[in-house]
Amino acid sequence: MNHAQTLQAGIAEMGLDIDAACQTKLLDYVGLLQKWNKTYNLTALRDERLMVSHHLLDSLTLLPYIGSARTMLDVGSGGGQPGIPAAICRPDVAVTLLDANTKKTSFLQQAVIELGLSNVRVISGRVEALQNYQAELITSRAFAELADFVNWTAHLLTDGGRWAAMKGVYPEAEISRLPDFAEVETVNALHVPQLDAERHMVLLRKKA
């Protein structure tokens, strides 16, 4: 299977509805990751086939959890996962990508321009320093321990908003260390086609 077929098969297996134009743009994004990886050190993966499963399909597990949110913050976005794939598939959502690494945010800016993502803005800096902004959904993939994630971003979550933390194995110990103001709504095991590793989506909210 070529990359397009791998992506198409994975999307079908995940039961997602993503049109051909978006699939093309997702593959364009992987092409940019590959092209700029040597310069910006964006991913340890060098094999484009693995990038489809590890970066695209893995990021797309977020889509069902965006729901009716209209604003989303991807913290520690790195090479743009899950923020860029999500933004490609949900052009109606205003996505902010945040990373403290200026090399990575340079790449993100480049990718946003080349992919024509008018719904995305890139911010370079530490999440604790971000002010005058709030999102209905705050997400991260392999960014920080859950307690740090919610502590650093609590001021950025709208009332009634949610955190969606993408994790590997079930993060039992991390959940036990959550601060008092945050609670787990659900933890769902995820299936990522062609990825032989555990994945979990941890949904959290502020306690009422």
- Which residues are annotated as part of the binding site? 76, 81, 127-128, 141
Write out 173-199 in H/E/C secondary structure: HHHHCCCCCEEEEEEEEECCCCCCCCE
With CA atoms as reference, report the closest residue to 163 among 204, 208, 207, 206: 204
In DSSP terms, which residues pair with 73 in a beta bridge?
Answer: 96, 138
The answer to whether 90 touches 74, Cβ cutoff 8 Å, is no
Q: Which residues are annotated as a binding site for S-adenosyl-L-methionine?
A: 76, 81, 127-128, 141
Contact 61, 190 (CB under 8 A): yes
* ∠ Cα 81 109 91 (to 5°): 60
Both structure tokens of 62: 């977020």
Which SS3 state, helix, strand or coil, does residue 21 take?
helix
Where does 85-131 show beta strands of DSSP type E? Answer: 94-99, 120-124
